[in-house]
Amino acid sequence: MTAFRWVPPFAQGLVRDLRVRWALEEAGLAYEERLIGPEEQRSAAYRRQQPFGQVPVLEQDGLTLFESGAIVLHVAEQSKALLPTEAQARLRARTWMFAALSTVEPPILALNALGMKQPVDDGVVPTRARVASRVDQRLDSLAAFLTGKEHLEGAFSAADLLMTTVLRALRDTDRVSSRVVLREYQAGCEARPAFQRALRAQMDTFARHAPVSP
């Protein structure tokens, strides 16, 4: 699995190889890191594997995949720990995987581009207000669905894994913490030993490769 050698502190714990690490940990599948930096990102060889130069890329048994959501789904299909065995529950869990990445995450990413805590400049104020409202609507809908539930579909699944990593992008705001249902949901998912191992592995990699101050 490819991962960055180092990223600035604001991105640490958020880079999307975390999703794949977590899925592999939950599934009990061993993996090796292939660490890359800017030079590798721009190389023709890497762009053949990941056309956009991002991480992660997963190589397994001759198969090469990119996009964290696709990789997590691939891993989940190999593990009873990440998808229900009952057919309809399995489909519902997959639906929530897509909802995390297609419905909840996009306005959060847009808000980040416009200024997660405050507008990046005066020109984006009206647009940012509309995007922030959309984020709040999505979070309110998610909280309403999760009320009285520990997980999105029965037991913990890949849907919760992806949703939790999406919510982590709001960690510098009170948008999750101010919603008790979401705060407790995220805390419960992040308390899982597999998540803690995955996060520690990512953070340890960044620590080992941190730039040396002059």
**Among 133, 177, 182, residue whose Cα is nearest residue 160:** 182
Contact 9, 209 (CB under 8 A): no
Q: Does domain 87-192 have CATH number 1.20.1050.10?
A: yes
CA distance 96 to 159: 5
- Confidence (pTM): 0.97
Whether 87-192 and 2-80+195-208 are alike in CATH topology: the answer is: no
Sequence ranges of the domains in the chain? 2-80+195-208, 87-192
For domain 2-80+195-208, the CATH class is: alpha beta
Q: What confidence tens digit (pLDDT) does each residue in 61-104 have?
A: 999 999 999 999 999 999 999 999 999 999 999 999 999 999 99
Tens of pLDDT along 5-47? 999 999 999 999 999 999 999 999 999 999 999 999 999 999 9
DSSP 8-state code for residue 56 = -
Residue 214 has pLDDT above 90, yes or no: no
CA distance linking residue 61 with residue 152, whole number of Å: 31
d(CA 196, CA 214): 32
